[in-house]
Amino acid sequence: MDKSRIEAAERDIIAELATSVEGYKNLTVLCDEFGSRFGGTDEDRRAVDYMLQRFQEYGLENVHKEEFMHNAWTRGPATLHTIAPLSQEFKCISLPYNVASDVEGELFYVGHGTPDDFEAAGDAIRGKIVMANAKSPSFFHRGVHRCEKIGRAIAGGAIGFIWMRWDPGLLEETGAARWGKPVEVPCIGVSREAGEALVRMQEKGPVRVRIHTTDTVKPAPVWNVVAEIKGRTEPDKVILIGAHYDGHDIAPGAMDDGAGAMVVMETARALARHKDVIGKTLRFVLFPIEEIGLGGSYNYVNMHRDELDNIEMMFNLDGAGRSFAQPGVQLYGKWASLFNFFRSIGKEMKQPIQVANGISLYSDHLPFQLMGIPAGGIREFSDTNTGTRGWGHSAADTLDKVSPRALEGTAAFMARLALRMSNRTDWPGRRISEQAAQEALGPEYMEVLKLEKRWPFYEWIPELVTKP
């Protein structure tokens, strides 16, 4: 492709996104009209139709939805009481995939709930209701996710689990207890303040608590929303740009991940103005039910098993568009071979691109990564990591936390990157075997996947996955 045509398109893309608030307008509709877009709800269905319409209006190609069934979870009221040494009620919420339950037992607090904390607790958690806080401490060598803490508590014989938010502010924090299917023991969330009060009560003697929950699960259809710009020179090669559009049921999920989903749509909209300079095919996918089990991406990979070799790279924009920091590329797995490629694109763009390797088991890149496809995302690099989610997964994940300029700025970066990648013929990435992908993940992370009951890959949620 002629360099001057690419540069002219790029200038228009930058100008278009810098002077538009289309992404923020769409995010406002998503949050205000379709609520949390939680899988299996009517709001989810209407959000899907809305996004399909926008893609069509923007001139995308092959716009369609791909249906599959999932286990829709519906929240019911939950209560938490202490029985001894004091009788008190504490505000709580169920964690997704908790089901109706009534349990009583002694409270055991494992602090941050790192593997070391659980090892130190040993058999003392057997038969108890375990409480862990939501911080992933920087002194442990990797992040420790809620699902891992729950997995360790259950493996150690806990009969219930309480998830204590770490950030103060009287907010409960949600998050799936098990992914895609009911969890074995009652799992609830409490605020930092409620959790601290429970810990203090232990000074008066062993604390007995009672948990009562009323949640339900039943099958419902959900949809991956797909749109494309067919490559003009190498149509069979695909760069996939995706993000989940669902939030948790207690909030609009404006940051997590309405913003990321709208970065995908804005990237698509800007690039669709220049179809004639797209070299490789760009495919845009908006995933449902990420929050409760990566269901959209798992099913996408499963339903497209025959075509996975064509996907050169998967960009997961979960978390993109929330910050003004310089965006860079986060690679998941061991893809050091791609560093120089992205740096050279940065040179073309006259904008240094920070690249990093990392591992995360907790978003939609994972199914692609486990299939050996180079997977990464756009990351706003900063050196401050609190080890918590901020507003994410709380009722306060609302529209006011998102800036239209940050959203459009990230879309401009993604669009330029995609435009230039689609025209490069020297992509050094290639799909590796599933075995090699597992080895790249390493035994420690594979162990965590097993603890969280999402391994083997296709079998962990058989009732969710649609067989091709």
CB closer to Zn ion out of 152 and 365: 365
DSSP H helix total and E strand total for the chain = 13, 16
> Angle at Cα 149 formed by Cα 143 and Cα 155, nearest 5°?
135
CB of 414 to Zn ion, least distance (A): 16
Number of Cβ atoms within 10 Å of the Cβ of 57: 11
Q: How far, in Å, CA of 235 to CA of 230, rounded?
A: 6
Of the pair 256, 408, the CB lying nearest Zn ion is at 256
Distance in Å, CB of 79 to Zn ion, minimum: 29
DSSP-derived pairing of the beta strands 327-332 and 355-358? parallel
Select 318 or 380, whichever has its Cβ closest to Zn ion. Answer: 318
Residue 352's SS3 state is coil
Question: 72 is written with which tokens?
Answer: 């829709």
Nearer Cβ to Zn ion (112/393): 393
Q: Would you tell me how many other CB atoms lie within 10 Å of the CB of residue 459?
A: 9
For the chain, what's the residue count? 468
> Least Å distance between CB 244 and Zn ion?
6
**Is 257 among the residues that bind Zn ion (CB under 5 A)?**
yes
**Closest separation in Å from C-beta 246 to Zn ion:** 9
Shortest Å distance, C-beta 392 to Zn ion: 7
Binding mask 400-439 for Zn ion (x = CB under 5 A): ----------------------------------------
Q: Give the per-residue contact string, 149-188, with Zn ion (x = CB under 5 A; - = no).
A: ----------------------------------------
* Tokens describing residue 67: 């249906």
Number of residues near Zn ion (by CB under 5 A): 3
If the CB atoms of residues 160 and 321 are measured against Zn ion, the closer one turns out to be 321
Q: Locate tokens 């895609």: which residue?
A: 180
Nearer to Zn ion, 90 or 245 (CB): 245
Compute the distance between CA of residue 108 and CA of residue 106 in angstroms, rounded to an integer: 7
Pick 291 or 408: Cβ nearer Zn ion: 291
Task: Please list every residue from 288 through 327 that binds Zn ion, using CB under 5 A.
Answer: 318
Based on the shown chain and the rule CB under 5 A, indicate whether residue 43 belongs to the binding site for Zn ion.
no
Neighbours of 81 (CB within 10 A): 15
Nearer Cβ to Zn ion, position 172 or 256?
256
Residue 389 C-beta: closest distance to Zn ion, Å: 9
Binding region for Zn ion (CB under 5 A) out of 16-24, 253-261, 320-328, 394-402: 253-261
d(CA 251, CA 393): 8
Q: Which residue is nearest to Zn ion (CB)?
A: 257
Least Å from the CB of residue 250 to Zn ion: 14
Residues sharing a CB contact under 8 Å with residue 313, sequence separation 6 or more, in sequence order? 239, 240, 373, 374, 375, 376, 421, 427, 429
Q: What is the CA radius of gyration of the chain?
A: 22
Binding mask 213-252 for Zn ion (x = CB under 5 A): ----------------------------------------
C-alpha 298: how far from chain center: 12
Nearer to Zn ion, 288 or 372 (CB): 288
Q: Does 364 bind Zn ion (CB under 5 A)?
A: no
Q: Least separation, in Å, of the C-beta of 291 and Zn ion?
A: 6
CB of residue 290 to Zn ion, shortest distance in Å:
6
Residue 312 DSSP one-character state: E
In angstroms, the CA 140 to CA 444 distance is: 13
> At which residue do the structure tokens 């299917």 appear?
181
How far is 293 from 298, CA to CA, in rounded Å? Answer: 9
Asked whether position 380 contacts Zn ion by CB under 5 A, the answer is no
For 124-135, give the DSSP string.
GGTTSEEEEES-
Supply the minimum distance, in Å, between the C-beta of residue 297 and Zn ion: 11
Beta-strand pair 280-287/234-244? parallel
- Which one of 57-65, 161-169, 256-264, 459-467 is the stretch in contact with Zn ion (CB under 5 A)? 256-264
CB of 301 to Zn ion, least distance (A): 18
- Burial code (b: 16+ CB inside 10 Å, e: under 16) for 321-360 equals bbbeeebbbbbbbebeebbebbeebbebeeeebbbeeebb
- CA gap 396, 390 in Å, rounded: 9
Instruction: Select 246 or 266, whichever has its Cβ closest to Zn ion.
Output: 246
Among residues 10 and 256, whose Cβ is nearest to Zn ion?
256
By the rule CB under 5 A, 256 interacts with Zn ion = yes
Which positions touch Zn ion (CB under 5 A)? 256-257, 318
